[in-house]
Amino acid sequence: MKSSFCAIAFCVVLLPAFSACSLAPNYKVPDAPNPAAFKEAGDWIEAKPEDAIERSAWWKIFKDPQLDALEDQVTEANQNLKAALAQYDQARAAAREARAAYFPVITANAGATRQQESLTIANVSSKSLYNDFTMGADLSYEIDVWGRVRNTVAANEAQAQASAADVAGVALSLHAELANDYFTLRGDDAAQAILDKTVESDQHALDLTTQRYKGGVAAEADVDQAKTQLENAKTQATDMRLQRAQLEHAVSILTGKAPADFRLPPAQPVCKLPHIDTGLPSVLLQRRPDIAAAERRVAAANAEIGVARAAWFPAFNLTAALGLESATAAKWLTAPSQFWSLGPSAMMPLFEGGRISAMTDEARAAYEQMVASYRQTVLAAYGEVEDNLVALHRLEQENQTQTAATAAAERSLAQANDRYKGGMTIYLDVVAAQNSELQAKLASVNIEVRRLIASVQLIKALGGGWQPPPPEK
């Protein structure tokens, strides 16, 4: 029995040495557009920003403690992120399952049966009723001559790496979505403060106009205009509260809480608009998790071509059996009851109706699809960066002009109020000046929020400082 074990072990150790061939094409990352610089960067972006995007917590660049706390809750409690992590665990398990094919499958068996042979079958001995006691082990091993197993493993490992990048992409999107909602909500808080102050001012103006009307100084139409202005401001203030409540609900869901259990008290924004270094466009290919995921899926599809092509060639297997068999229990575990077998086998398709050819064509078409998806992902990434660069550039210009417009609107309203109190103009001029000032202030808030959101979107487009994980060992 010892010699048989040695023979099996010898074959298992040496046969993998013959597995040196792979039918998968030599893989290289597909060519993709790679401009030398971003078109919309211009000279307005600082070459060396004061702050750097942190690898694991890019939102800290905005220096808002409340935002930091909420982003941490997204990492811990968001259900979409947990689902992505579970999907990644599935991909890793599938890769381990594929790697198991590198090793032989050994199964143990034992049995005790009593049998009755048919007496009408030729060559059956007179002793047709007997016992059969068996105990042994079987071994089967695929000799990976054509690389089918190795390419299957390579495809599954690439898919697992793509899934890891997917997790990073989901996390990046969720954190960016929370930052966008948070900044929009804080913008609503600022707008709400402006509207509440406007309502207070309009109420004071209505009281003053009513007194002037009772004193015979103002016309009744002035009272109606003042009341209309007040009610319109109240309507806008109520609508702003609606928008803010819905944003608060969205933030609660992102942080894994029911809206009924979450409250974010109103506050004025404390965050600062950061300076963001875009780096070179070529670096984008290394920082974007969606690009990394798309490239890994190209590698997986390339390996699948090798799996499909291997079906054209013979499949070699090594099988072995070792055990004990006896007709009596007393002699079951003795040396004469030993049996063993060892030998290779080969199987090759001779006719399969074009199935293997179709499988190979399917694998090649899947590869071309993944290549096209990869290139499209790269193009979309460059487009997102350019879009948000030009947004930051133009919104900075808009902020300067809108600041000047707001200051002019404030002066115009003050002059209109003075002229009306002095009886030099009608109240309609005051209403027009009030509307202009209110819209100018709300526009200033809106531009500031859009600048913050554009910064978030630029960081997201740049990959959030993400780096691909090292390969698993």
Q: Which sign does the torsion angle of CA 275, 279, 281, 287 carry?
A: negative
Q: What is the pLDDT of residue 334?
A: 84
Check pLDDT > 70 for residue 290. yes
Cα–Cα distance measured from residue 217 to residue 209, given in angstroms and rounded to the nearest whole number: 9
Torsional class of 95: left (φ above 0), alpha (ψ -120 to 50), beta (otherwise):
alpha
Q: What is the pLDDT of residue 427?
A: 80
Q: Which sign does the torsion angle of CA 45, 50, 52, 58 carry?
A: negative
Largest Cα–Cα separation, the chain: 135
Of residues 288 and 130, which shows the higher confidence score?
A: 288
Check pLDDT > 50 for residue 44. no
pLDDT averaged over the chain? 86
Strand pairing report for 129-143 and 338-347: unpaired
Question: pLDDT tens for residues 370-388?
Answer: 999 999 999 999 999 999 9
Cα–Cα distance measured from residue 417 to residue 243, given in angstroms and rounded to the nearest whole number: 32
Confidence bin at 12 (pLDDT 50/70/90): very low
CA angle in degrees (0–180, nearest 5) for 211-213-219: 150
Q: Integer distance in angstroms from the first to the last C-alpha of the chain?
A: 37
> Across the beta sheet with 338-347, what order do the strands follow?
105-116, 129-143, 315-326, 338-347
Check pLDDT > 80 for residue 411. yes
Cα–Cα distance measured from residue 425 to residue 433, given in angstroms and rounded to the nearest whole number: 12
CB 454 within 8 A of CB 396: no
Domains annotated for the chain, with CATH where assigned, are 1-20+104-143+314-347 (2.20.200.10), 31-103+146-313+357-461 (1.20.1600.10)
Please provide the size of the chain in residues: 473
In angstroms, how far is CA 160 from the centroid of its own chain? 14
Cα–Cα distance measured from residue 344 to residue 95, given in angstroms and rounded to the nearest whole number: 27
Q: CA of 304: how far to CAs of 91, 151, 313, 359, 452, in Å?
A: 16, 7, 15, 10, 44
Query: Which amino acid is residue 299, in one-letter code?
Result: A
Q: CA of 72: how far to CAs of 42, 79, 256, 260, 333, in Å?
A: 34, 14, 11, 20, 64
SS3 labels along the chain? CHHHHHHHHHHHHHHHHHCCCCCCCCCCCCCCCCCCCCCCCCCCCCCCCCCCCCCCCHHHHHCCHHHHHHHHHHHHHCHHHHHHHHHHHHHHHHHHHHHHHHCCEEEEEEEEEEEECCCCCCCCCCCCEEEEEEEEEEEEEEECCCCHHHHHHHHHHHHHHHHHHHHHHHHHHHHHHHHHHHHHHHHHHHHHHHHHHHHHHHHHHHHHHHHHHHCCCCCHHHHHHHHHHHHHHHHHHHHHHHHHHHHHHHHHHHCCCCHHHCCCCCCCCCCCCCCCCCCCHHHHHHHCHHHHHHHHHHHHHHHHHHHHHHCCCCEEEEEEEEEEEECCCCCCCCHHHEEEEEEEEEECCCCCCCHHHHHHHHHHHHHHHHHHHHHHHHHHHHHHHHHHHHHHHHHHHHHHHHHHHHHHHHHHHHHHHHHHHCCCCCHHHHHHHHHHHHHHHHHHHHHHHHHHHHHHHHHHHCCCCCCCCCCCC
Question: pLDDT tens for residues 293-329?
Answer: 999 999 999 999 999 999 999 989 999 999 988 888 8
How many Cβ atoms from other residues are within 10 Å of residue 118's Cβ? Answer: 7
Highest-confidence segment of 77-81, 124-128, 272-276? 77-81
**Token couple for 261:** 């259990």
Radius of gyration of the chain (CA): 37
Highest-confidence segment of 130-144, 250-264, 429-443? 250-264
Nearest partner of 171 among 258, 88, 295, judged by Cα = 88
Q: What is the pLDDT of residue 5?
A: 44
Confidence bin at 465 (pLDDT 50/70/90): low
How many Cβ atoms from other residues are within 10 Å of residue 34's Cβ? Answer: 12
Question: pLDDT tens for residues 75-113?
Answer: 899 999 999 999 999 999 999 999 999 899 999 999 999
